[in-house]
């Protein structure tokens, strides 16, 4: 039977498909770490209290990248180059979602609107990350090799999502409500399209590595398109709602050290 658990187990059990999966994940997390570090360095004077939380966010992302690389090392594997059509983070930036890398490389302080844009982008992408890690946690929390890493990353992603909700509500109360809702909607609609395209590209490559029959690959592609159709019709709304989280000040402390996985 084709299920999320059986599909992921098949990917994990094959060295080449596991190598590609971890390489894509590590690259995206490391890129997120760099982006957050630059944003923390450029926070406008009036929002300096936010800088430690952004720094913590970036440190968590860097940690996740190290965890995925450690999982590869534990299996005696090395990372592979990330195919351009599977690079979720780069594709988001290329489509104008979030803050442009040219802007982050400059040494000019960001504006309040830039910070709103960053938080709205993060709220959308952290929704996706939290849901994906919750799925893995549900199926692999007790896995002998992956369980500890999955539990730690899932906990971090939930913290990141809570932080985005809390900070965006603060900015909304300060008069940025309309800009936040407009930016959230733009980000969400772009993200679901890019997530669909990346998912199709990743599954196509996994299918070639694992020798899936055409029928199975076609079924998976149909499922990805069906999810996109639902998200395009209504599912995107879960990415733009804001509510005060139960986890308050979720990024107010130091980053949790990564476990020794290698």
Give the residue among 67, 38, 55 at the shortest CA–CA distance from 258.
67
The model's pTM is: 0.94
pLDDT bracket for residue 4 (50, 70, 90): confident
Residue 186 lies in a domain: yes
**pLDDT tens figures, 137-183:** 999 999 988 999 999 999 999 999 999 999 999 999 999 999 999 99
Give the residue among 52, 62, 179, 56 at the shortest CA–CA distance from 114.
179
Residue 201 lies in a domain: yes
Q: How far apart are the C-alpha atoms of 156 and 150, rounded to whole Å?
A: 10
Give the residue among 74, 68, 36 at the shortest CA–CA distance from 55.
36
**How confident is the model at residue 262, as a pLDDT?**
40
**How confident is the model at residue 258, as a pLDDT?**
63
Number of domains observed in the structure of the chain: 1
Residue span of the structural domain in which 180 resides: 4-239
Residue 254 lies in a domain: no
Structure-token match 């504006």, residue found? 111
Residue 246 lies in a domain: no
Residue 182 lies in a domain: yes
* Angle (CA) 255 260 262, round 5°: 135
Residue 247 lies in a domain: no
Give the three-state DSSP class for 211. coil
Structure-token match 């029959």, residue found? 213
Helices (H), 51-176: 51-74, 88-94, 101-105, 112-140, 147-171
**pLDDT tens figures, 38-53:** 999 999 999 999 999 9
CATH code for the domain of 10: 1.20.1260.10
Residue 45 lies in a domain: yes
**pLDDT tens figures, 90-143:** 999 999 899 999 999 998 999 999 999 999 999 999 999 999 999 999 999 999
For residues 61 and 25, is the Cβ–Cβ distance under 8 A?
no
Please, what's the b/e burial string for 226-238 (b: 16 or more CB within 10 A of its CB; e: otherwise)? Answer: eebeebeeeebee
Q: How far apart are the C-alpha atoms of 160 and 158, rounded to whole Å?
A: 5
């Amino acid at each position: 039977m084709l299920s999320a658990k059986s599909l992921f187990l098949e990917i994990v059990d094959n060295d080449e498909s596991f190598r590609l999966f971890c390489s894509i994940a590590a690259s995206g997390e490391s890129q997120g770490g760099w982006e957050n570090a630059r944003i923390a360095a450029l926070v406008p004077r009036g929002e300096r209290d936010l800088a430690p939380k952004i720094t913590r966010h970036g440190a968590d992302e860097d940690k996740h990248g190290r965890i995925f690389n450690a999982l590869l090392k534990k299996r005696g594997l090395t990372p592979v180059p990330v195919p351009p059509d599977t690079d979720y983070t780069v594709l988001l930036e290329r489509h104008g979602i979030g803050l442009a890398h040219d802007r982050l490389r400059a040494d000019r302080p960001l504006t309040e609107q830039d910070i709103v844009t960053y938080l709205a982008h993060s709220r959308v992408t952290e929704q996706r990350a939290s849901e994906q890690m919750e799925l893995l946690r549900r199926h692999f929390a007790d896995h002998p090799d992956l369980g500890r890493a999955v539990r730690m990353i899932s906990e971090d992603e939930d913290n990141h999502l809570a932080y985005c909700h809390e900070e965006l509500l603060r900015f909304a109360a300060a008069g940025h409500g309309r800009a936040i809702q407009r930016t959230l909607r733009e980000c969400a609609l772009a993200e679901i399209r890019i997530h669909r395209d990346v998912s199709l590209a990743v599954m196509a490559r996994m299918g070639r590595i694992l020798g899936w029959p055409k029928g199975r690959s076609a079924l998976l592609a149909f499922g990805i398109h069906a999810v996109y159709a639902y998200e395009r019709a209504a599912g995107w709304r879960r990415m733009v709602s804001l509510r005060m989280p139960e986890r308050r000040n979720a990024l107010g402390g130091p980053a949790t050290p990564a476990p020794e996985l290698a």
